[in-house]
Chain A
Amino acid sequence: MRTFLYCLKTAVKNLGREKWINILTVLTIAVGLMILGAFILITLNLDSTIKQWSRGFGLVVYLKDDISANEENLMNEFFTKDSDIIEIKYISKALALKELQQTSGPMNSILEGFKENPLPASFELKLKVEALDPIRIKLKASQIRQLSGVDDVQYGEKWLSSLNTMTKGIKIITAVLGSIIFVAVAFATYSTIKILFYRRAEEIETLKLLGATRSFIRLPFLLEGIFVGTCGGIISISGLLAVYYFTTSKIIDFLPSLKGMIMFFPPEMYPVAPLAGAVMSLVGSFLAVGKIRY
């Protein structure tokens, strides 16, 4: 504990001694994390929009004309048991025709040409957003097709696939950008600590000769890195918040309908930025100090 306190004191002193290089590193980390934060924010907003669109997604199960009441009941029971289905709506032949007549307008005369109602009865199934995976839905559709009394199952296969590709793409870009920023932040700290390490080479040599352990030598540098990374993180989240309020107020001036739709990170997520900065810088500092040999 005493050694830790001494190392902490040394780290604070060194931060003061080398304040310009440390300030520069803090700003570099802040900019890096701000870019990453902005991208994550855009991703979250896009994801939320996509989820809103997806709420209307469903499967339509068309029934055979000769389906029995028992088959209909069994089918209804099957859908009720499926936890992915959040809403089941039965559309009878008559209701389907009525809805079509309401929407087709002048084309109604074509429908009048039919002696019998040509439309099938159906079940409209709404699925929860988490279940909107193309493979999962395809499997579900094929299972439903096997049920007795089912004529056909239709869903927006292409739309779902595009949506899925888009969501995956955004996630991949965020992950790649996140990794790049992680490396960049770690490298910024690495470079600074490496410079400071070289500047203190004589001091480190003396410490080694006096019997200082590796942790005694290393700890002040690691603490310095953690401090620099944490400061960078605090500045990044503060800056991002300022940019968010400024930008959204400008956007809402032009598009008032977007009010309340563009979201920011919840307050409980704010500490993630300094924490991420600290971890990234710690990695950079650790690599910079490297293996201490006697």
Chain B
Amino acid sequence: MIQLSNVSKYYDNEAVLKDISFFVDKGDLIYITGPSGAGKTTLLKLIYRAERPDEGSIHVAGWDVGELKQSTIPYLRRNIGVVFQDFKLLFNRNVFDNVALALRIHGLHPDEIKETVNEVLKDIGLRHKAHEFPQHLSGGEQQRVVIARAMVSKPTVLLADEPTGNLDPDTAQIIIKLFKEINARGTTVVIATHHSDLFDNTGRRVIHLKGGELIRESIG
């Protein structure tokens, strides 16, 4: 599903990722961990093609990501749901419209959009907040809206960048539970986090990064 082969990325001649190779199978849930500046966010950005690798190749769901034309990138991104560290919610739209945006981009019929969004909002327990604006929601609720937006178009891959970064431990557990449920439906999930308690004793694959290098792989 996701294949990185000898991937390197440089900013101002300084390597932020060095010779990274790993494979994520379809339906897997893996964690990428490491301290701040280890290259976790850059790695995710390379996967959804917000950045381009300077060396090596990346394949996601059959797409050669590094070689994509500008006009093809949107179609790759429609196959990848992303939970951004800074949420990227639109504060001039309510919860429903924020989630619906992903489907509007796909050009779905308004009735279908309404049905699907309401269903997803129900799944994440925010059906009653559909007409609220993001600024009136708690951090945990905002995070759940972001997850709903990432999932609503049923992507094959879900990437989450520090999804529990600003949340209290209880809310963090709810969010992680949501990811596990999403993964159980067959979606490949990659979670970047520096909180080891999220993956400890989960029995899942963990990729450890440090200074832009893949230092080891372990089972959480």
Contacts and interface: CB of A to CB of B under 8 A. Distances in A.
Contacts of A203: 90, 92
Interface in B46-102: 48-50, 70-71, 73-78, 82, 84, 88, 90, 92, 101-102
Interface stretch (B103-111, B114-122, B183-191): B103-111
Contacts of B106: 211
Nearest to B106: A211
B12 to A, nearest CB: 20
A116 interface: no
Given A209-B50, A294-B70, A202 B88 contact: yes
Contacts of A210: 77-78, 101-102, 105, 149
B147 to A, nearest CB: 14
A3 B113 CA distance: 13
A203 B70 CA distance: 19
Nearest to B86: A202
B163 to A, nearest CB: 16
Interface size class of B (residues with CB under 8 A): 20 to 34
A2 interface: yes
A209 B88 contact: yes
Interface residues of A, number: 19
A206 B90 contact: yes
Interface stretch (A212-220, A234-242, A243-251): A212-220
Contacts of A209: 48, 50, 77, 82, 84, 88
Nearest to A2: B107
B90 A214 contact: no
B107 A3 contact: yes
A203 B104 CA distance: 14
A214 B107 CA distance: 14
A132 B101 CA distance: 64
A211 B77 contact: yes
Contacts of B76: 211
Contact of A294 (B49, B92, B108, B149): B49
A293 B70 contact: yes
Contacts of A294: 49-50, 70, 73-74
B88 A206 contact: yes
A211 B105 contact: yes
A203 B105 CA distance: 13
A144 B109 CA distance: 76
Nearest to B68: A294
B195 to A, nearest CB: 24
B101 A211 contact: no
Contacts of A208: 74, 77
The residue in A3, A202, A206 that gathers the most chain B C-beta atoms within 10 A of its C-beta is: A206
13 contacts: A2-B107, A2-B110, A202-B90, A203-B90, A208-B74, A209-B84, A211-B77, A211-B106, A212-B74, A213-B71, A216-B105, A294-B49, A294-B70
Given A3-B107, A202-B88, A209-B82, 10 more contacts: A2-B110, A206-B90, A209-B50, A209-B77, A210-B78, A211-B74, A211-B77, A213-B74, A214-B71, A216-B105
